[in-house]
Structure 1
Amino acid sequence: MPQLSGVGMILRKLAVRNFRRLRDVEIDLASDISIFVGANNSGKTSVGHALQLFTGRGRFDIHDFSAELWSDIIAFGDAVEGVALPIMQIDIWFEIAATDVHRVIDLLPSLAWEGSLVGMRVSYAPVDPNATRDRYRKARERALEAVPVNEAGKRDYDPSPRSLQDFLRDRLKNEYELRHYVLDPARVGQPDYRPMELTGRDRSGRDILASLLQIDFLHAQRHLSDGPGGARAEELSRVLSRFYARNLEQKAEDLETLRALSVSEISLNDHLKRVFGDTLQSLSKLGYPGLTNPRLIIRSALDPAQIMSSRDGARVHYALGPEPEEGDETEPPTLPDRYNGLGFKNLIFMVVELLDLHQQWLAIDDNRPPVHLIFIEEPEAHLHAQLQQVFIRKVMSILKLRGDDRTHYASQVVVTTHSTHILYERGFHPIRYFRRSRAEAISTSDIVNLSLFYDSTDPAERSFLERYLKLTHCDLFFADAAVLVEGNVERILLPQMIAKAAPRLQSTYLTLLEIGGAFGHKFKALIEFLGLTTLIITDLDSVIGPVVADEGEPAEGGAAGNVFDPANGAAGPCAAAGAGDGGDGEAVANDYDVDDEDDEEPVGKPGKSCVAGHPGAATSNQTLRQWLPKCTTVAALWDADEEQKTQPREGDSDALVRVAYQFPVEVTWGEETETLAGRTLEEAFALENLVWCQDIARRPLQLRIPKNGEKDLTTLVTALHKRVNGSSFSKTDFSLALLAEDPDSWVVPAYIAKGLEWLQDQIAPSEPEADDEAPKPLADPVEEVAAIVVAVVGVEEVA
């Protein structure tokens, strides 16, 4: 049997079925800390609630059944053939070492058991389904008999219980019960497997589970008060008082200090400083108080009989200024705890509560459960980014076990969070991603283990992704969809373009990742692993072919990794690339209106940028070459249909990906109209807003060409290409100048608008149009409220 490295018995995984959104999920837990992430209402908190309920803490509710099972409950009550009452289940798996077998003797499935996994299934099942249905029918008959029939032979309303679901709403506890089973890891999953029920033992299944696992919760709603507070507010002093009463050395046990209390406030304060020393020292591991934050001290109100138990007996104070030097008896000025900010209150509160829970577990003398699991909900509340990172980095050191406890016991933490800072502090390994079902009217989630992605991904690509997400953000794990954009310009302008082209997207949660055409394909594995709906907005990046270079080596005048097939086209004349593309194009002066007309156009070299319509042009964009639509020439990219530009979702858990890049549109200048395409966003914008951009008032955009009225369309397009690719053209200045313009005066480039409309249709479909009927008169408000109450709680309860 394999030995667990440096840790005792641990909770290895959970499998939850038919509980809320968790219709059928399996969750692997890390031996130290697991981080649950996902969009709102994806089921993260439900895991903790499931553990609470299945371990006998709290009462199940009819709505704890997965929503898809409600129809089965109603159908069973109506005696529909082949329908059974549903059962909620959780499988709890422990990983043990050879020294732990005596603890789990009740969970060994047979004498032939081998391995390191033992498991228990806890089911919430009907006591007697047929008897439940009979009681429902009798209750239904009584309710109907109590409602008189009108002259038309009908009842004025349908009384509760209208269905078996109605009946179980208030009677679930009487009709269902918890049952415990021993699981055989070698047979779980087999169609004919029936686990052995834990009955007839010296201990009940609940007692066996309680002897192995202690679960505690640090909930998100901590209600710390800045002011006098209300009924739900809790001051930090009272939290510390409770901690003192439970865990620290009591005044009655410290005779020396007890004697001093009667004569001196100084002695009492020394006592409090001593007993809280370890606690306050634990805070220092999280960087508190830091450089400029006030120190925490505990001061007594000089009432020995009520030191910490009284509301005003002893209070937390914040000392201003540095700590006095040894021998200096000057008292520093202090402020009560309510004068500090919510962030540090929350930090101190969490540390004290974690220490409290940890100490309570360690204080169990007889049959202490070997596994202590703590759920921490949203620790980021009120904490700034750096403090969030420090907390998640140091939380396990707060709960560190010492001595023999390290080999016989284990502390594990589960954190649910929406904080990107917490995520990139820990990396991929501990992340468990909760992904909501995309099927309409289906309220379920599945769970993706990012440690599997870490282990299965190429190390170089994995390292790139981790470093990138640390440098930017990780809200990829909380979004409805992702938009991968070419660069800073798209990132700045996209919110405005969404407002113009796809306004319904404003009510969704999008994450924007600035990835560039050369690196976009590196996100392919992560996007597909997460199964995320994704729009890629990228550039054609047209260049002259052919150029041949070794993979990863820069081609002449091109970026690293740009590999071209000689069959892609023949070299020919082209406007030279600027510094932005690694070319040797002539720099354009800083004056917005410098005349480029007389610049001699050099002969193009393979790998240098060119206008999109150049004959035989290739693309240097690795996303277009390696991901979608996997084309190497501009001609092939323009010939690609919608199907080729889309990576379809074959299953509910698959990623749906669409790429958007520049394509030819009609461009008019004076009397001329041609079908043209830009090479980059800036070129595409200039072409599709050509007259507007050439106005003298648009000079800050840097797209105005001098003497443009004297130029034909071809000359103007060539000059625009040179301008945008010139070394003096600032993309950021362009985007900021565009933001200063009236958004109604310009149009979104067609390729972006079309891509955003596609994404809008996927995650924010339009509401069905209302019938063109005359508006109905408003109902009487009293009647409306009465109808709602009747519908929700039933007539019996209203009466």
Structure 2
Amino acid sequence: MHLKKLAVRNFRRLQDVVIDLASDISIFVGANNSGKTSVGHALQLFTGHGRFDINDFGMGSWPDIIAFGAGAEGAVLPTMEIDIWLEIGAEDLHRAIDLLPSLAWDSTLVGMRVAYAPIDPETTRDRYIQARELALAAVEKDEQGLPVFDPAPHHLRDFLRDNLNTEYELRYFVLDPARFDANMLAEADYVPSSLAGRDRSGREILNGILRIDFLNAQRHLSDGPGGARAEDLSRVLSRFYGRNLEQKAHDLEALRALAASEVSLNEHLERVFEPTLRSLAKLGYPGLSNPRMMIRSALDPAQIMSSGTGALVHYALGPDDGTPNPPTLPDRYNGLGFKNLIFMVVELLDLHAQWLAIDDNRPPVHLIFIEEPEAHLHAQLQQAFIRKVLDILTLKGADRVAYTSQIVVTTHSTHILYERGFRPVRYFRRSRTEATSTSDVLNLSAFYDSTDPKVRTFLERYLKLAHCDLFFADATVLVEGNVERLLLPQMIETAAPRLQSTYLTILEIGGAFGYRFKVLIEFLGLTTLVITDLDSVFGPPTQPGTGVEVTAAAGDDPAQEADSDEDEDEDEGAAGQLAAEKPGKACIASHPGAVTSNQTLLHWLPKCETVAALWDATADDKTQARANENDALVRVAYQCRTDVTWGGNTLSLAGRTFEEAFALENLGWCQHKDRKPLQLRIAKNAEKNLSELAGRIHKRVQAKSFSKTDFALALLAEDPATWIVPQYIADGLRWLEAEIAPPEPEPEPDDEANAEEVAETDGAAIAAPGPDGEAAA
């Protein structure tokens, strides 16, 4: 038996969601305030642990509460609900007998609905009206007999803020899986059977099947004198001993140790904690260079077992050579990461042991909800923890068949997320509708099962290696290569500065593999900008043997040219060469009949083959719009023609790659002698016309000797105010900025003159630099 699904309605952001849970471990991910932690709080409250608050109702139900209190026709008081579905086998039937909907039940699912509903809505409204009248009567009146202020409760929601738990109650129902579809939506006329009046209450039935424990994110691991909320490892270990390990009243060895000496007690503690320390060792921590953990008794034998600090954690220094009394330091001398790890493992073992210690009617399913285990843990330890956490809670013997341990982990760690692959991931996606606060939940195991195995394997491996925060971002930018990835933060600062206030993830994917992200982007419904290259190549010849005559300098070696000085003689040669138009070979973007080899442009957006068609594509052709609110919104950006001026001549040109586009749109600046480290300066450039210069830049970038990474690093060393962002990237970033970035506040009237001055300054800063390296007017 295991917990299969949870359906939550009208609880905080979870207006109507269905969450599939894996039988072993599920990982909840998503942006902040997307509802991950709310699932844990819902489980606590609906299983009777804690008190509901008026703010637990989703925002969409607040107007309904107020309308009902005002007596609006047709208004009803809302309820909050959770449907708990368990998958059972034939051997579990006797445990779930109370949840069988009928003798005709024929399924592997049993379900219970827990509803937080008003006890008597009409009586609740009468009490509110009475409280409102009493409050108004108690307020001082002015000369016209009107209250001097409007007292609370102003409406029914105000009244329920203080009286919710006396006006509402938990109710329990049996669910019939035959009346639900595959998405766990009930038939329109379905009314579940109430568990009221049974021999056992609904709460007893639920707690007899499912035990839920929580390991919260706030673990208070500091060693300061922080007062009552401070927690330390020694106190946790003492509590763990007191609950689960050998008790002194039943352990003669412990009694002898108390009476004999502190040495004997230390041996006792070492023995009883050995399983715990072995569990820690499964995580590979401490490593070879880290101190070993030891449990040492305090000096006062009378208080060793009764005191919360009776057992103290010490860290042994030096190699483990069998020395009985190695030098040690107390636990407060070790780092927070090690403490957090030990704390979590001990707490997990404690919760697990408490569940196993139940002798009568132990719940067959134990769910542990772990919040953000990554706190203070370095990347490798995060991976080790999530990889080994199930081993720590392994069931043994007959318990493996009769009982189940399940774990739910909420995390913001990419190392935890990608360590387990897609299948256990549940992605919480916030609604994009303005003035709403809702989320939906996507099951990545469904994506895994429905995606081509080659594509999903590629994505899993790539995302694990990249450790990107794709599942936590407002939007993603897919870039062609390492150069764009290195330079994009600077280009964002220059072209679309409001994007710096958003949560972006930048993925380097290459034109040949970018389209493979299409299925994942669409499944997640992400806003995405794809920055890729035109990648122009020779198309198939229109007639056999057709060629093009290309003039090239005899002995024109880009590697030599990169190191040449503009004053050195260069043998341009008098004769041209005949170069065959080999289909698929890289060519300059303006070559007649050129096509693209970029798979993203061919198979995703704008699905054009020829360079001419790509240049003719409209903004709509380059955009994958949303048909529904939660669909992906995707825009592609690639090199298009821009006006380039050199030596008084202006042509409409486009680069084949980012480097070419950058060189053309910053032509004068790149050809200055001070820009030689960029590798884009052509020797004797003043003697060449614009067409020749563009051709030489194309050849330079295509040469094997051209280092794109060196180009990017050299550009980062330059003042960004002296060069401009290529137009296709600037346009794409401004599109993304308009989609996800908050608008800038309107300037105050007194600041309008200053705003105009700043705008003029910015405009001058990004103007195309001239041949001397300075910004042109």
- TM-score normalised by structure 1 residue count: 0.90
- Structure 1 residues 656 and 567 mapped into 2: Cα distance closer, same or farther (>3 Å)? farther
Counterpart of 2:366 in structure 1 is: 372
Say how many residue pairs are matched. Answer: 739
Matches within 5 A, 1:495-534: 495-534=489-528
Tell me if structure 2 keeps the 8 A contact 1:575–1:611.
no
Counterpart of 1:559 in structure 2 is: none
Counterpart of 1:456 in structure 2 is: 450
For the pair 1:589 / 2:560, whether they are aligned, the reply is yes
For the pair 1:241 / 2:233, whether they are aligned, the reply is no
Q: Which residue among 579, 585, 599 is the counterpart of 1:608?
A: 585
Displacement of 1:74: 1.1
Matches within 5 A, 1:95-174: 95-151=87-143, 155-174=147-166
**Separation (CA, whole Å) in 2 of partners of 1:408 and 1:68:** 42
Task: Give, as a single letter, the amino acid of the residue that structure 1 aligns with 2:221.
Answer: L
**Separation (CA, whole Å) in 1 of partners of 2:578 and 2:97:** 83
- Structure 1 residues 632 and 145 mapped into 2: Cα distance closer, same or farther (>3 Å)? same
Counterpart of 2:58 in structure 1 is: 66
Task: Give, as a single letter, the amino acid of the residue that structure 2 aligns with 1:61.
Answer: D
- Structure 1 residues 774 and 704 mapped into 2: Cα distance closer, same or farther (>3 Å)? closer
Tell me if structure 1 keeps the 8 A contact 2:30–2:429.
yes
Counterpart of 1:85 in structure 2 is: 77
Displacement of 1:228: 4.3
**Separation (CA, whole Å) in 1 of partners of 2:360 and 2:593:** 81
Counterpart of 1:408 in structure 2 is: 402
> Aligned with 2:222: secondary structure?
coil
Counterpart of 1:572 in structure 2 is: 548
**Structure 1 outlier segments of 4+, above 6 Å:** 566-570, 594-597
Q: Deviations over 1:363-389 (max 9, x none)?
A: 000111000000000000000000000
- Structure 1 residues 667 and 109 mapped into 2: Cα distance closer, same or farther (>3 Å)? same
Task: Give, as a single letter, the amino acid of the residue that structure 1 aligns with 2:559.
Answer: V
> Aligned with 1:102: secondary structure?
coil
For the pair 1:194 / 2:191, whether they are aligned, the reply is yes
**Separation (CA, whole Å) in 1 of partners of 2:429 and 2:365:** 28
CA RMSD, aligned part only? 2.1
- Structure 1 residues 321 and 256 mapped into 2: Cα distance closer, same or farther (>3 Å)? same
For the pair 1:766 / 2:743, whether they are aligned, the reply is yes
Displacement of 1:262: 1.9
Counterpart of 1:299 in structure 2 is: 296
**Separation (CA, whole Å) in 2 of partners of 1:389 and 1:158:** 56
Q: Deviations over 1:645-689 (max 9, x none)?
A: 111111122111100001111111121111111111111111111
Displacement of 1:423: 1.4
Displacement of 1:642: 0.9
**Separation (CA, whole Å) in 1 of partners of 2:321 and 2:694:** 73
Task: Give, as a single letter, the amino acid of the residue that structure 2 aligns with 1:390.
Answer: A
**Separation (CA, whole Å) in 1 of partners of 2:614 and 2:414:** 36
Tell me if structure 2 keeps the 8 A contact 1:225–1:233.
yes
Tell me if structure 1 keeps the 8 A contact 2:641–2:652.
yes
Q: Which residue among 713, 722, 744 is the counterpart of 2:699?
A: 722
Tell me if structure 2 keeps the 8 A contact 1:126–1:176.
yes
**Separation (CA, whole Å) in 2 of partners of 1:302 and 1:506:** 56
**Separation (CA, whole Å) in 2 of partners of 1:238 and 1:40:** 32
- Structure 1 residues 590 and 321 mapped into 2: Cα distance closer, same or farther (>3 Å)? farther
Q: Which residue among 618, 631, 642 is the counterpart of 1:654?
A: 631
Counterpart of 2:770 in structure 1 is: none
For the pair 1:700 / 2:677, whether they are aligned, the reply is yes
Displacement of 1:441: 1.2
**Separation (CA, whole Å) in 2 of partners of 1:150 and 1:228:** 54
Tell me if structure 2 keeps the 8 A contact 1:568–1:632.
no
Tell me if structure 2 keeps the 8 A contact 1:423–1:474.
no
Structure 1, 448-457 or 258-267: larger mean CA deviation: 258-267
Task: Give, as a single letter, the amino acid of the residue that structure 2 aligns with 1:195.
Answer: P
Q: Deviations over 1:265-287 (max 9, x none)?
A: 22111111111111111100011
**Separation (CA, whole Å) in 2 of partners of 1:82 and 1:243:** 55
Q: Which residue among 274, 282, 293 is the counterpart of 1:285?
A: 282
Q: Deviations over 1:14-44 (max 9, x none)?
A: 0000001100000000000000000000000
Displacement of 1:264: 2.1
Tell me if structure 2 keeps the 8 A contact 1:545–1:570.
no
**Separation (CA, whole Å) in 2 of partners of 1:145 and 1:345:** 58
Tell me if structure 1 keeps the 8 A contact 2:117–2:169.
yes
**Separation (CA, whole Å) in 1 of partners of 2:280 and 2:737:** 47
Displacement of 1:344: 0.7
Tell me if structure 2 keeps the 8 A contact 1:215–1:374.
yes
> Aligned with 2:260: secondary structure?
coil
Task: Give, as a single letter, the amino acid of the residue that structure 2 aligns with 1:736.
Answer: L
Q: Which residue among 667, 673, 680 is the counterpart of 2:650?
A: 673
Matches within 5 A, 1:130-529: 130-151=122-143, 155-188=147-180, 189-325=186-322, 328-329=323-324, 331-529=325-523
Counterpart of 1:738 in structure 2 is: 715
Gaps of 5+ in 2: 181-185, 753-777
Q: Which residue among 503, 509, 533 is the counterpart of 1:539?
A: 533
**Separation (CA, whole Å) in 2 of partners of 1:74 and 1:85:** 9
Tell me if structure 1 keeps the 8 A contact 2:561–2:682.
no
Displacement of 1:257: 3.8
Counterpart of 1:796 in structure 2 is: none
Tell me if structure 2 keeps the 8 A contact 1:571–1:606.
no
> Aligned with 2:592: secondary structure?
coil
**Separation (CA, whole Å) in 2 of partners of 1:574 and 1:368:** 83
> Aligned with 1:40: secondary structure?
coil
**Separation (CA, whole Å) in 2 of partners of 1:168 and 1:177:** 13
Displacement of 1:310: 2.3
Structure 1, 182-191 or 485-494: larger mean CA deviation: 182-191
- Structure 1 residues 454 and 280 mapped into 2: Cα distance closer, same or farther (>3 Å)? same
**Separation (CA, whole Å) in 2 of partners of 1:377 and 1:611:** 54
Displacement of 1:99: 1.2
Tell me if structure 1 keeps the 8 A contact 2:238–2:309.
no
Counterpart of 2:686 in structure 1 is: 709
> Aligned with 2:457: secondary structure?
helix
- Structure 1 residues 773 and 495 mapped into 2: Cα distance closer, same or farther (>3 Å)? closer
**Separation (CA, whole Å) in 1 of partners of 2:232 and 2:121:** 49
